[in-house]
Structure 1
Amino acid sequence: MAYQLDPSEYNPYYAHYLEKVEVSDLLSSLEEGLKNTSSFFESIPKEKLDFRYAPGKWSPKEILQHIIDTERVFAYRALHFVRADKVVLPGFDQDEFASNINADRKIEDLLDEYKIVRSSSIAFVKSCDEIAMQRRGVASESPISVRAAFHIICGHEVHHMEIIRERYL
């Protein structure tokens, strides 16, 4: 399913994430992300995993948990829209989520969780036909399509890996 997203499929806030997704095929983007993100976090030196470059900033392990949480939230939104549920979904406060996570775990455990969540997203996308992927709903007071939600997931993780490369390593 190669296509271009129409700007009406997402809030302009997410455009910078979507610009980071280089593969136009969603399934390929999700699979590439699984490989790239896993190997990226595996390559971070152990002494850097809990490092914060400034007070109040997240550590790489907290960033990985944030990536996982965000994927869960966007996949949940997509599930509602695929099933044609007309409920308006709320936003989520990433800082509130982050203040209540337990990233004080082994990186291997976080990566296992990431891989399970991503594998679930891949299976979900494979189960959807083109019509389902184009369905839309409202989340965070903005319209969003199923396929845009999954592309945002992909661009979001690329964004955070760039930040880690620039500020942590």
Structure 2
Amino acid sequence: MEDLKREYALGYIMLREAIEGLTEEEIRYKPAPDKWSIHQILIHVTDSEISATSRLKKVLAEDKPMLISFDQEAWANNLNYDLLDREQHLLLFKLLRSSMQPILEHLTSEQSLREGIYVDQARFTFKQLLEFRVEHVCNHLDQIERVKKAFQENQTF
């Protein structure tokens, strides 16, 4: 669990490092009309973190709470991600992660096993939900690398 907590705490730094030195053109580049730009990925990661932080706290505070997901495509399409302030969202991501640190520092092994239940009846422990948060950032870091590579390949033509 300690390694998981450390990885969770590094999420913001890893996102920052992934975009360090990129131009606005690179950050706004979409590899295909139906693919997200790095800018959109970062907004999405923060929106997802807003929802996930609430779920994590719910699982710790309430007895087997109902958990709700969000439609990421609807959010990206209907909230005008391209117009949102990336720096504000990155700061919000950082604050959300840091707000969880005192909770994680005092987390007991019993608390890590507390469960939340999704509408489809899928059950997840706090630890599993935290693992998903770490995986989520890692998956999007891989996606950012793919977009960067696609941008570079597009520039050679």
Classify the TM-score, shorter chain: 0.7 to 0.9
1:78 corresponds in structure 2 to 56
Paired residue type of 1:39: E
Cα offsets for 1:62-96 (capped at 9, x unmatched): 11111111122222112111113333223321111
Q: TM-score, normalised by structure 1?
A: 0.76
2:129 corresponds in structure 1 to 149
SS at match of 1:137: strand
2:153 corresponds in structure 1 to none
Residue 165 of structure 1: which of 109, 125, 145 is its match?
A: 145
- Say whether 1:29 aligns with 2:28: no
- CA distance in 2 between counterparts of 1:121 and 1:43 reads 29
Contact 1:30 1:122 survives alignment (8 Å):
no
Contact 1:133 1:146 survives alignment (8 Å):
yes
More helix by share: 2
2:24 corresponds in structure 1 to 46
Bigger Cα Rg:
2
Contact 1:75 1:149 survives alignment (8 Å):
no
Contact 1:78 1:145 survives alignment (8 Å):
no
Paired residue type of 1:99: N
Aligned Cα root-mean-square deviation (Å) = 2.0
SS at match of 2:116: strand
1:137 corresponds in structure 2 to 116
Counterparts of 1:81-160 in structure 2 under 5 Å? 81-101=59-79, 102-141=81-120, 142-160=122-140
Provide the aligned length of Structure 1 versus Structure 2: 147
Q: TM-score, normalised by structure 2?
A: 0.81
Q: CA deviation at 1:115?
A: 1.2
Gaps of 5+ in 2: 150-157
- CA distance in 2 between counterparts of 1:53 and 1:105 reads 20
Identity %: 24
